[in-house]
Each structure stands twice: as C-alpha cells, then as structure tokens.
C-alpha cells in the first residue's frame, strides 16, 4: 500500500510503499496459571509452552519473559517473596512431576526437584504475612468432636509443640513452605530456604483415594485444604499430619465421578470449591456445613479468586464466563465475628464473558498506592487468562461497571528482522552482484524461518491484472485522483506484489529450548540466534539456478529462474562456553560483526568469517552443478574450520550499588531485569541499553559509556527504544505513549522535545491503541521514525512541527461513541506529521526495507484461534 511522504514543510514528495505481510506464523500459547506477590505489585504468568512472564500490576507492563521448552507441560506457578531484602522467587510445576525454580537472572530454568508423587496439579505457597487473631478464622482452634481434635496423646502434644517451635523459627528466618497437589493422592510439603536454590522436600500428608487436584493454605498457616477426584474436601492439620475435617461435596445428582478442580479459603475460614459439574460451593470451615451452592456455570469450574477482604468471589472455567458472588450480612453482627459470619449469606451478582475460550488462570493482586498507575485504579486487580492466550486485568471494585484492560494485546510476539541489502550474483561480497528482493527473518519458539519478499507492482494498473493477488483490486479513482491524472496514486491505494512470498529455509533448535534473541545481517550473509544456554551462529549461502533459453529438463521451465537454494552452515564459536545473549545485532559492511548482549549487561563483539555469498549455475548440465556445489561445500568447511574470530568484552553494565541500597522497592521493582531494552544506531557506532530504568550510551569503538540518560518519567517504564535514520537522535517511548528524543552522543533533549513536551503531544499519539513497543526507521527523511503498537503505526518527523488539534466547540456528550472514534481514526490527513495507520489485525513488526519501502507484519486473531482448542459450544438465540 503506498503512503505519502511528507517533507519538513508539509509538502508531499513521493510515496512510501508498505508491505502488509500476513504470512508470518504467530501462535501464542495459552495461559495455564497465574500468581501474584504478597504486596500485589507483581503478577507472574506461565504459558502452556513453559514461558514465564512477569507483569507489574501498577503499569500493566511486562517486565521480563523467561523462555520455556518445546516439551514443557506446566500446570501451576507460585511466586515466593521472602522479605524486604530478598528478591522474589518463582516456582513452576507440571505433568512431568518436577518442581522447578526459575532463574530470573539468567532467563532460564534453575534447580529442580522431583515431587515423588507423579504429576503436580497445583502449587500453593504458605502465606508470608502472619495473620492476626482477628482474621485467623474459625480453624485456628481444632473442631471439637473430630479425631485428634481435643484428645491428643502426650506424644502428639510434644510433637505439636516441637512443630510450633520449628514453625516460629521458620517464620523468623523467612523460610516458607510450598504445598504440592500430586497425582498419587498426596499433598507434599517442600521448604524454600533463603539463599538456597530450589526447594527441599519436607514431608507428605496421608494419601487419599484418587488424584489430588487442588490445594490451598488457611491464612493461619496451620491448616491445609486439599481436594481431588474423590469428590471430597480434606482439611489437614499440618503440625500433626492428621485429617481434621472431611467434606463430601455431593451435589445431589448422584455423580460419583465428581472432581473438585479449585479451592479457596477466605479470611473468615469459609471454604469455596469449584467442581466438574459447574458448581461453586461455600462451606463453613469449622463444621463443614454447606452455606450455599450455585450452578451458574454449565461446565467445569477451574479457577477461583477472592477480593482481599474476602467479601467477593470470582469463579471461571471451561464455560468462558466469570461469575461474581457477594457476601451479604444478614444480621447486626452482634456476638462476635463467628456469629456474624454465620448470619451472612452468599448471593450471585452477575457474570461477564471477556474471554472467548476456557479461563484456566485467575489471581487477585492489590495494586500499590501510586499516582502513576496506568490502569487508573488503586484498588485490587483481578488478572484472568486462558486458552485465548490473552491476559486481562479487571478492577475488583468496579468489575461489573468497567471493561477489562488487555495487559498484552500481542502476546509472545515473534522476533522479526529484515535483510534489506540482499544481493545475488557471482562471487563473494564486493564482486559483481545484482540487487534482489529483501529477506525477512522470523524467529518463534525454537524455529527460525527465512522468507523472500516480493517487489510491488510498478503501477496501480498491474495490481488488478493479477487475479491471484492477496490484495483487493483498487476501487475507482477518487475525484482528487482523477483531477491529478489517471495514473497518479493516492495515499491508501493498494499495490499488488509481483510474486507471492517465498519460504527459503528453516533452522530448528534441536535442543528444544525456546529462543531469547535472533538476528540476521543486513546483507543476509549471517544468521544468529540464542537460547537460554547457548549462542548459535550460521553462514547463509545461496545457489541461484538460471537455465538457458534452450535448456529444458526436469523441473526446469525455459526462460525462468528457479527458486534459490539456501544453505545454512553452522559457524564454530571461539569458546564452547560462550555465554547466551538476550539481544543480538549485526553491524558493518566490509566486515560483519555480531554484537551480543548478555543478561548481566556484558557486551561482546564477535567477528564473522568471510565466505562466498552465492553461486550462479547455468542450466543444461546437472553434473557440473553437483561438482560445483561439492567444491563450495568443501571451501565453506575449510573457511569455517579455520575461522579466526575475535572476542572482546567491552563493558559491564550492571546496576550500581545505590540501587541495591534502596529499601523502598516493591516486589515488582526488585524483579526488573538488568537489561530491559537495547538498540543499535543505523551506522553501527552506538549502542543504547536500558539498564534498571536508565539508558546507557556505549560507543562500540570505545570502552566507556558516553552518557547516562534518566527515564523521561519516573516510575513509568520504557516500552520502546530506537534511533532516527541519521543516528543523530535517540527516541524513547514510555508505557503512557510519551515520546522524547535526545541528541547523540551528548544525551541532551533535542529542540523538538523541548518545544513539544511528552504530555503535550497530539491525542492520536498519546491515545494510540495498545502500548507502543517498537521504533522503526522511516524512509521519508533523516529525522523520521515509525512508532508502532499492536494495533496502529504512527509516523513522527522530529524536524517538523506537530499540528495543533482543534478544540471541541461543544461539551455535550456525543452519541455513538464507537462510530465517532472510528471516523476520527480513518480521517487522518495525508502527509500530516503524527499521522497514524490503524490496523484491524495485530501488528507484529514494522521495519524499513530501504528506498521507499516499509514492511508491516500482521496476523489476524482468526488464524490464531483456528489452531486452538475450540471453546465450549453455546447456543445463541436465532441461530
């Protein structure tokens, strides 16, 4: 699609061709479990492929992503916070029976321990803050009349006292216990000690019939509640390992295969259970009396969550409905907390369907009291996720009054990069070559794909000539276009490509580890990717077959050029223990250098070997072609084997000690990785790295940081970082879509930023749908960039003025707000600065291809849902 090019003065000079590509594979993984920190500042999510994602609840910003494994099958996640000085720890468990601690510092799985009971269905961490007597609940005292309640032997009393002493000691040392619901019917306890990696096995509770599917701690930390496939709820005294109470959850239907998937214990001791029949049941925690049962769901209830005060309960499951239940006090509350709890009544309020598929994960996080929250809500937040791969944030207090916010509109975005200067021809680099179509690299999961794009048609008339084009035929010329001429193009007209995109090669990580970074050189000669354990480099060579006009054979058409044959050859690294990278960049023209940025902030340069770029084979002689290919293969092997690579450690960008001494940090702030964002200048001379909120400028030809730029707004994270095409300015974007430009290499704000404060930018920039996640070079000028989010692309020229927005003449509330906002989106004047292109499908990547071409990679949600498990059928009226 052509797009007008705007000059600094506002005049239009030429076109920019946008490649709207939709062929890149993008398949995010469902969310299977959620967990929040005790202060509510951090939310952790684990996906079906093993990816662990950390989100800050106050800004809804993704702090970190730890890649998983292609064979992972997680079922639960637990976020452990052991004190003000210690960083948070994350544990995951799954069907493989292992409890794994996530190494947040190195972006990979850490110490693992066997559950000794098969698959783990759920993890429950012991409450960190001790509960006071006022909210300890009715289970603080053992229920009378049950075995072991008030007739313990002397030996049991001694064991109980010893256990209490050990528990007090454990609480003082901030060590916590982790409960695991195992497949063999047991609940096993593990101890998490400060400073010791992994979890340590402590003990097992008695085995019950069937599988244990759910486990929950009582706020008093003295009782564990478990349930499973036997249809019963078991209350365990942790100190004596005895069952204090058993509740048979019979719904009266005679279903003997009732499974209780989820459990919840409220602050007043009430036990809430969700079962496979769609029931949400409330039980008295002391006597096991049924307080209420609701059948609002038509399928299994998989998850339960409650507000911090315990007066509101949310339930969701296979039926993609989130039901809300409220506790109503039925008396004046006289007689103490227990009597008032008995007089209260649970009622069903309403339900919402924000998800399209099964809801498999829920948790409540209490948002910190901060004025800089993106969500605008200082109360608790309800996070939900499921098979539709989306993570949503709801306000607990205004759940029925407000729509949820998408925490990540484009989850698990693939790593995409273009190779715009690809050449094919005879000889090595620097020899005779002809310009070819650009390449596109897409890395997702444990695979890297190489694609060849096609050039657009030279005129609009050719766009309608090809009936097989994926682009629609342009409509009749508009009056403005007719006045300008029949062949003139208007911004927004679509051009058909000359050919369909061609898949060249696929590189698969045989270890199964998912990738953390990937890059391709601008000339397509080299490819590199890294997982959490190793860095892999490859040399890419192309064999182009051009048959003669008189040569015909098998698979050869006279006068046509067959698709290129791409060979990917591994490059031996100078050190077998070369550290993995979280960001990779290629730079240089005559000598290609790989810039590898490690998780600890260390930058390393790796010189790539020289090798023949491509070969040209004439048709008509297959034997000569095979002999020449064999010679090329031997020559490449010799070059790779005799590789003389250099490795230089430039600078260690670890955070300073003053950050360690900051005691007023939340759990989310302590989980911020050392390296957040990184980008390299177009000329390859400067590297900008966001380290703990500050952007460090590092010349790649030197060893010293030239400038350290503070964030544009305090307590608001950066979401995008990029240079202008002339490498003269660095552009920063915050989570509130605030855009600031800084001069290079001094790091001072540019004149444009001084004249246009971040909060005074046009609303079309500040209110751009989704959060801006990338800065791409724009071919319209040396100071122009393209800012893109998951739903829109915005053009900004830092050498031009920002147009003033018309003030509203009427303060009346407009009707049909959706139609009005849609009309405003599509009515952006052509050639205007800060104009935006709104996309109906998620935008995965935007990048300049050189010349006047820009590629926009999109993928529709319908393609994603086509590969997911279908949701539960729901009959709709009139169908």
Number of structural domains found in the chain: 1
Instruction: Say if residues 698 and 706 touch (Cβ distance below 8 Å).
Output: yes
Q: Which residues contact residue 185 at a Cβ distance below 8 angstroms, ignoring those fewer than 6 apart?
A: 117, 207, 208, 209, 210, 211, 212, 228
Band the pLDDT of 226: cuts 50, 70, 90: very high
Q: What is the pLDDT of residue 63?
A: 93
Lowest mean pLDDT among 61-65, 380-384, 813-817: 813-817
H helix runs in 434-491, sequence order? 460-463, 479-484
**Structural domain of residue 121, as residue ranges?**
31-406
What SS3 class is residue 340?
A: helix
Q: What is the CATH number of the domain that holds 68?
A: 2.130.10.10
- In degrees, to the nearest 5, what angle opens at C-alpha 475 toward C-alphas 474 and 480? 105
pLDDT attached to residue 138: 44
Per-residue pLDDT for 443 more than 60? yes
- Is residue 473 scored above 70 in pLDDT? no
- The yes-or-no verdict on residue 818 having pLDDT over 50 is no
Residue 222 to residues 35, 168, 533, 547, 556, Cα–Cα distance (Å): 21, 12, 41, 80, 77
Sign of the CA dihedral with 10 first, then 12, 13, and 14 last: positive
Give the integer Cα–Cα distance in Å for 245 and 242: 9
Rg value, the chain, Cα: 30
Region 849-867: mean pLDDT is: 89
Task: Report the distance separating Cα 646 and Cα 353, nearest Å.
Answer: 57
State the pLDDT at residue 629.
52
Across 409-423, 493-507, 743-757, least confident range = 493-507
Give the C-alpha separation, 688 to 679, whole Å.
Answer: 5
Answer whether residue 616 shows pLDDT above 60: no
Report if residue 374 sits inside a domain.
yes
The answer to whether residue 46 sits within a structural domain is: yes
CA distances from 150 to 136, 179, 241, 284 (A): 19, 26, 15, 20
Least confident of 467-471, 687-691, 821-825, 838-842: 467-471
> Does residue 410 carry a pLDDT above 90?
yes
Query: pTM of the prediction?
Result: 0.84
Q: What is the strand order of the sheet 694-699 is part of?
A: 675-680, 686-691, 694-699, 707-709
Q: Which residues of 28-45 are buried (b: 16+ CB within 10 A; e: fewer)?
A: bbbbbbbbbbbbbbbbbb
Question: What pLDDT was estimated at residue 259?
Answer: 94
Indicate the average pLDDT of the chain.
78
Q: How far apart are CA 550 and CA 559, in angstroms?
A: 8
Mean pLDDT for 330-356 is 69
Does 846 map to a domain?
no
In a domain, 64, yes or no: yes
453 Cα distance to chain centroid = 27
Higher-pLDDT residue of 673, 361: 361
- Note the pLDDT tens digit of each residue in 384-408: 999 999 999 999 999 999 999 999 9
CB count in 10 Å sphere of residue 554: 5
Higher pLDDT, 525 or 461: 525
Average pLDDT over residues 172-200: 89
Q: How much is the pLDDT for 642?
A: 32
Distance of alpha carbon 725 from alpha carbon 364, whole angstroms: 44
Q: Give the lowest-confidence range in 263-267, 505-509, 689-693, 804-808.
A: 804-808
Average pLDDT for residues 327-337, to the nearest whole number? 59
In a domain, 521, yes or no: no
Residue 542 confidence class, pLDDT cut points 50, 70, 90: confident
Q: Among candidates 30, 35, 65, which has minimal Cα distance to 532? A: 65
Instruction: Provide the pLDDT for residue 282.
Output: 96
Residues 20-30 pLDDT 10s: 888 899 999 99
Task: Give the DSSP H or E segment for 830.
Answer: none
pLDDT tens figures, 61-120:
999 999 999 888 999 999 998 766 678 899 999 999 999 999 999 999 999 999 999 999
Higher pLDDT, 639 or 73: 73
3-class secondary structure, 339: helix
Q: What is the mean pLDDT of residues 522-545?
A: 88
Does any domain span residue 24? no
Question: Quick check: is 219 in a domain?
Answer: yes
Q: Identify which of 266, 204, 274, 191 has the alpha carbon closest to the alpha carbon of residue 238.
A: 204
Give domain status of residue 696, yes or no: no
- Measured CA to CA, the distance from residue 856 to residue 839 in angstroms comes to 10
């Amino acid at each position: 699609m052509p797009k007008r090019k705007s000059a600094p003065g506002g005049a239009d000079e030429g076109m920019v061709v946008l490649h709207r590509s939709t062929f890149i594979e993008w398949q995010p993984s469902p969310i299977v479990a959620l967990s929040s920190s005790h202060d509510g500042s951090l939310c952790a999510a684990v996906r079906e492929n093993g990816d662990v994602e950390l989100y800050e609840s106050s800004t809804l910003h993704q702090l970190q992503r730890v890649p998983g494994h292609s064979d992972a099958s997680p079922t639960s996640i637990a976020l452990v916070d052991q004190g003000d000085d210690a960083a948070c720890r994350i544990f995951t468990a799954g069907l493989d029976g292992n409890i794994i601690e996530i190494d947040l510092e190195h972006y990979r799985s850490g110490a693992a321990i066997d559950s000794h009971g098969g698959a783990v269905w759920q993890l429950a961490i012991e409450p960190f803050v001790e509960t006071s007597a006022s909210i300890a609940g009715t289970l603080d005292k053992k229920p009378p009349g049950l075995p072991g309640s008030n007739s313990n032997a002397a030996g049991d009393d001694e064991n109980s006292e010893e256990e209490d002493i050990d528990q007090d000691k454990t609480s003082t040392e901030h060590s916590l216990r982790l409960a695991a619901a195992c497949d063999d019917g047991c609940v096993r306890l593990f101890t998490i000690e400060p400073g010791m990696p992994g979890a340590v096995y402590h003990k097992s509770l008695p085995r019950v019939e069937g599988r244990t599917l759910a486990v929950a701690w009582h706020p008093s930390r003295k009782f564990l509640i478990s349930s499973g496939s036997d249809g019963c709820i078991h209350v365990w005294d942790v100190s004596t390992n005895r069952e204090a109470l058993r509740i048979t959850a019979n719904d009266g239907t005679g279903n003997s295969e009732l499974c209780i998937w989820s459990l919840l214990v409220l602050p007043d001791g009430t036990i809430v259970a969700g079962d496979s029949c769609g029931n949400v049941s409330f039980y008295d925690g002391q006597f096991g009396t049924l307080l209420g049962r609701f059948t609002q769901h038509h399928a299994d209830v998989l998850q339960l969550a409650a507000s911090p005060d315990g007066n509101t309960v949310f339930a969701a499951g296979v039926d993609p409905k989130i039901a809300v239940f409220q506790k109503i006090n039925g008396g004046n509350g006289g007689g103490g907390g227990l009597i008032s709890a008995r007089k209260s009544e649970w009622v069903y309020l309403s339900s919402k369907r924000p998800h399209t598929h099964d809801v498999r994960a829920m948790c409540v996080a209490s948002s910190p009291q901060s004025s800089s929250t993106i969500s605008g809500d200082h109360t608790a937040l309800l996070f939900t996720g499921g098979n539709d791969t989306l993570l949503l944030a709801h306000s607990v207090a205004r759940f029925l009054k407000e729509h949820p916010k998408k925490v990540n509109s484009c989850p698990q975005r693939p790593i995409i990069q273009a190779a715009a200067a690809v050449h094919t021809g005879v000889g090595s680099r620097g020899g005779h070559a002809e310009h070819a179509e650009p390449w596109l690299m897409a890395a997702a999961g444990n695979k890297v794909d190489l694609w060849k794009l096609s050039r657009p048609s030279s005129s609009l008339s050719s766009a309608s000539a090809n009936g097989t084009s994926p682009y629609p035929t342009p409509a009749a010329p508009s009056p403005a276009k007719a006045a300008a001429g029949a062949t003139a193009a208007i911004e927004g007209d679509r051009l058909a490509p000359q050919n369909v995109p061609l898949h060249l090669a696929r590189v698969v990580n045989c270890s199964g580890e998912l990738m953390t970074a990937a890059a391709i050189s601008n000339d397509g000669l080299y490819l590199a990717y890294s997982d959490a354990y190793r860095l892999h480099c490859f040399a890419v060579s192309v064999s182009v077959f051009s048959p003669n006009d008189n040569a015909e054979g098998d698979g050869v058409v006279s006068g046509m050029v067959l698709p290129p044959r791409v060979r990917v050859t591994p490059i031996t690294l100078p050190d077998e223990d070369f550290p993995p990278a979280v960001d990779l960049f290629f730079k240089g023209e005559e000598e290609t250098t790989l810039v590898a940025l490690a998780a600890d902030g260390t930058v390393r340069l790796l010189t790539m070997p020289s090798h023949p770029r491509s070969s040209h084979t004439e048709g008509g002689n297959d034997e000569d072609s095979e002999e020449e290919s064999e010679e090329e293969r031997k020559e490449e092997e010799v070059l790779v084997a005799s590789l003389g690579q250099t490795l230089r450690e430039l600078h260690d960008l670890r955070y300073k000690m003053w950050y360690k001494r900051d005691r007023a940090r939340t759990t989310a702030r302590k989980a911020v990785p050392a390296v957040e964002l990184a980008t390299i200048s177009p000329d390859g001379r400067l590297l900008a790295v966001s380290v703990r909120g500050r952007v460090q400028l590092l010349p790649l030809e030197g060893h010293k940081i030239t400038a350290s730029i503070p964030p544009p707004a305090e307590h608001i994270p950066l979401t995008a970082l990029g240079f202008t095409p002339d490498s003269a300015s660095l552009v920063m974007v915050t989570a509130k879509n605030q855009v600031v430009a800084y001069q290079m290499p001094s790091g001072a704000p540019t004149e444009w930023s001084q004249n246009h404060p971040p909060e005074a930018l046009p609303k079309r920039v500040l209110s751009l749908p989704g959060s801006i996640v990338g800065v791409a070079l724009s071919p319209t000028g040396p100071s122009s960039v393209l800012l893109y989010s998951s739903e829109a692309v915005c053009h900004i020229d830092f050498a031009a003025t920002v147009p003033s927005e018309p003030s509203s003449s009427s303060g009346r509330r407009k009707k049909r707000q959706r139609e009005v906002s849609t009309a405003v989106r599509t009515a952006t004047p052509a050639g205007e600065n800060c104009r935006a292109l709104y996309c109906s499908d998620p935008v995965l990547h935007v990048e300049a291809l050189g010349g006047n071409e820009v590629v926009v990679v999109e993928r529709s949600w319908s393609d994603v849902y086509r590969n997911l498990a279908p949701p539960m059928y729901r009959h709709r009226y009139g169908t």
